Structure 1
Amino acid sequence: MSEQILLTGVIPSHANGKRLDQALAELFPDYSRSRLKNWITDGSVTIDGQVVDRPREKVLTGMEIQVDAEIEEEQRYSAQPIDLNIVYEDDHILIINKPAGLVVHPGAGKPDGTLLNALLHYHPPIDQVPRAGIVHRLDKDTTGLMVVAKTIPAQTYLVAAMQGREITREYEAVCNGAMTAGGLVDEPIGRHATKRTHMAVVNSGRPAVTHYRVSERFRAHTHLRLRLETGRTHQIRVHMAHIRHPLVGDLTYGGRPRPPQQASAELLQTLQGFKRQALHAARLSLHHPITGEWLSWDAPTPPDFVELLAQLRRDRQAHPHD
C-alpha cells in the first residue's frame, strides 16, 4: 500500500538559478532531500507541466512546480505486540527507554521482534514514516533513551538536527582500567578491514568525536559519563577500546573481565556474569521538531548496571589503600 501526495509551488525570487533539488528542499521542507531527489529522478516532478528528471536542472523565478508522487508504506515489516517503555509522547515524537536485548531495526538474522515491529503495533500510522520514525539507533545490548518521529515533518527535522549535531546524547559506561582524567577521542570510524561485523578506528572512516569525563574511580575500573558529537556505529565502544579502556562486558572490542587483585567472589561473579557492554543512554536533549522548545529526559540506570557499580564500590572499600 502507498499514499499518493500532490505538492505544488512556485519558484521564489531568491531561488532563481538554483538547482531543482535545492529549490524543492526549500519549497517542501517537510520532506528529506534524498526523498525529493528520488522523486525527481523517477519522473514525479514537473516544471511548468513538463517532466524534469535531472536534480541539477536550473530553475527560474516564477516557474510552477508540481510533485505527484507516492509514499510507500513499510508494510514488509509486521506489527508485533512488544512492550515499550515510553518516557514521553505527543502528536509528533516518542521518547523510548530501550531495554537490553531489543534490536532496533530488522536485519540479517533478525527479521522481526524489533523496536520497529513494536512501533508499528503501538502506533499503526507510523508505517507512513520511513523506518517507522526511527532517527538513530542503539546497539542491541545498550540500554536507554531514543527519540522516534511519529510524522514525516518531525522525522525530517530530527534527521537534520542529528546531522547538525543539535541533539545532545549523554551516556554512562563502566570501562576497564582506572582512568585519571576525562578527555575526548577524535578518531574516524569505519568498517574493520577483516572483521566485517566490527567497526574500527581507520583513516578512511567517517569523522567521530566522543567526549568523556570520570564520574567515579575504582581499583581497576572507571565509571564514565560520555557525550557524542557524532553517531557512528559502535562509536563509544570503538573509541574506548582504541584508548585501551574497553567497556566492561564488551567482548567484541576487548572488554573481557579484568578483576582487580584479591577481588571478592561476588565481584568476580558480577564481572563474569555481565554479558553485555556496560553502556546506558542516560540523557537525551533536543529542540522539539514542531514547537522548538528545548526538552530533556533522563533514564534511570538499569538494575544490572547499578549492581555492577555497587560491587565495585564494595571492592574499593575493602581495599582502601590500593
Structure 2
Amino acid sequence: MSDNTLKNLELTADIEHHQLGMRLDQALAEIFSQYSRSRIKDWIVNGHVKINGVVVDKPKERVLGGEHITLNALIEEETYHQGEQISLNIVYEDDDILVINKPRDLVVHPGAGNPNGTVLNALLYHYPDIASVPRAGIVHRLDKDTTGLMVVAKTIEAQTRLVESLQLREITREYEAVAMGIMTAGGTIDKPITRHPTKRTHMAVFPTGKPAVTHYRVMEKYRAHTRLRLRLETGRTHQIRVHMAHMAHPLVGDQLYGGRPRPPKGASEEFIQTLRDFDRQALHAAMLRLFHPITGEQMEWHAPIPEDMQQLIKVLQDDTKLYQDQIDW
C-alpha cells in the first residue's frame, strides 16, 4: 500500500434521466458514490468537471439528464506499506466494517518512528483487499497507549459514509479515564486545540486552534484522583489528554501532559508503586455507537476496562475506603 503520492483520477459518466433538476454535486455524488459529496464539490469548484466538454464550476448548477460528464482530478495515493502478521482483537465484523479493541503499545498508522508494526499493517495482512481503501479503511485513530474501540471500513463506500458521519458528529465515542485531582462535577470543555508552538510532539489549547469539545461526568471520586466518563464531540489529536491537562487534571500515567504521580498523604507502598508503574495514559475507548454505513442500522459496542486500569482503580478504591472518615467531599 502506498502513501502521499498524487495520481490522476479520470472518471466519465452520463447523467441519469431520473436526476432531472438535481444539483450537479448531488447528481455526481450519487453516480460516483465511492467519493464524498464535499470532495466532489471541491472538484467542481476547482474546475475539474466538464459537462459535454465544457468546464462547469458551480456545484448548484441544475442538470437535465443525459449530459456527458468527465472528471479529471489529482488524488492522494499512500506510500507503500506491507501487511504484517499482527493479531487483532475483533469485536465485530461484516462485509463492510470491522470493529477492533486496540491494546496498548500499538500505533494505528505508520509514521515517523513507527514505520511498521501498526494497526494498518495488520489490516493489510488480514484483509489484502483493504489496500484499495484510503488509509486501509482507518476512519479515526487512538493514541498508541490508549486502549479500546475503533471502527475500520472495508470498502471505499463504507469509508466515505463513515467519514461523513464523523464530520456530522453522528458517531458517538465514549471513554473512561482516571485523572489527577478531585473533580466535583461534570461539564463540557470547549477549547480549541492546535500543535504546540515549540514542542512539536505536543498539542495545546490555543485560540487559533481547531474547535474541540469534550463532555465529561464524574463516575467515582478518590482521595486525590477522579474516575471519569468522557464523550468526544470532535476528534482532535490528543484531545481528551490536552483538555484534561488544561483543566489542571491531567490523566494518570500521561507521559506527555501528566507530570509526576501525586499520591495522597499516608498512601500505602502498593498505592505509590501502582502509580509509579502505570506508564501510559489511563484512557480507554469504552463505547462506540454509529449508524452502519450501508444498512443504516444503529449499532453499539462496549469494551471492558483493561486489566491495568482495573488494577489502578482497585488500588484507588481501597485507599479511599481506608481513609473514608477523613474525606470531606
State whether TM-score is above 0.5. Answer: yes
Q: How far 1:9 moved relative to its partner?
A: 3.1
Match of residue 187 from structure 1:
191
Question: Does the aligned pair in 2 maintain the 1:100–1:142 contact within 8 Å?
Answer: yes
Q: How far 1:105 moved relative to its partner?
A: 0.4
2:135 and 2:41 mapped to 1: Cα distance?
18
Q: How far 1:256 moved relative to its partner?
A: 2.4
How has the CA–CA distance of structure 1 residues 127 and 51 changed in structure 2, closer, same or farther, with 3 Å as cutoff? Answer: farther
Deviations for 1:207-235, whole angstroms, at most 9, x for unmatched residues?
A: 11100001111000000000010001100
Q: How far 1:23 moved relative to its partner?
A: 4.7
Count of aligned positions: 317
Deviations for 1:170-189, whole angstroms, at most 9, x for unmatched residues?
A: 00000000111111101111
* Structure 1: runs of 5+ lacking an equivalent: none
* Equivalent residue runs for 1:116-135 within 5 Å: 116-135=120-139
How has the CA–CA distance of structure 1 residues 255 and 78 changed in structure 2, closer, same or farther, with 3 Å as cutoff? Answer: same
Q: Does 1:15 align with 2:16?
A: no
1:203 and 1:128 mapped to 2: Cα distance?
38
Q: TM-score, normalised by structure 1?
A: 0.90
Deviations for 1:217-273, whole angstroms, at most 9, x for unmatched residues?
A: 100000000001000110000111111100001121134201111111001011001
Q: TM-score, normalised by structure 2?
A: 0.88
Q: Does 1:159 align with 2:163?
A: yes
* Equivalent residue runs for 1:27-176 within 5 Å: 27-33=31-37, 36=40, 46-48=50-52, 50=53, 52=55, 55-56=57-58, 60-62=63-65, 63-67=67-71, 74=78, 76-176=80-180
Q: How far 1:3 moved relative to its partner?
A: 12
Query: What one-letter code is carried by the residue in structure 2 that aligns with 1:213?
Result: R
SS of 1:77's equivalent in the other structure is coil
* Equivalent residue runs for 1:247-258 within 5 Å: 247-258=251-262
1:55 and 1:139 mapped to 2: Cα distance?
40
How has the CA–CA distance of structure 1 residues 210 and 254 changed in structure 2, closer, same or farther, with 3 Å as cutoff? Answer: same
2:115 and 2:243 mapped to 1: Cα distance?
29
1:273 and 1:299 mapped to 2: Cα distance?
23
Match of residue 178 from structure 1:
182
1:225 and 1:134 mapped to 2: Cα distance?
24
Q: Identify the match of residue 263 of structure 1 among 260, 264, 267.
A: 267
Q: Does 1:241 align with 2:245?
A: yes
Query: What one-letter code is carried by the residue in structure 1 that aligns with 2:191?
Result: E
* Structure 2: runs of 5+ lacking an equivalent: 2-6
Question: Does the aligned pair in 1 maintain the 2:15–2:63 contact within 8 Å?
Answer: no
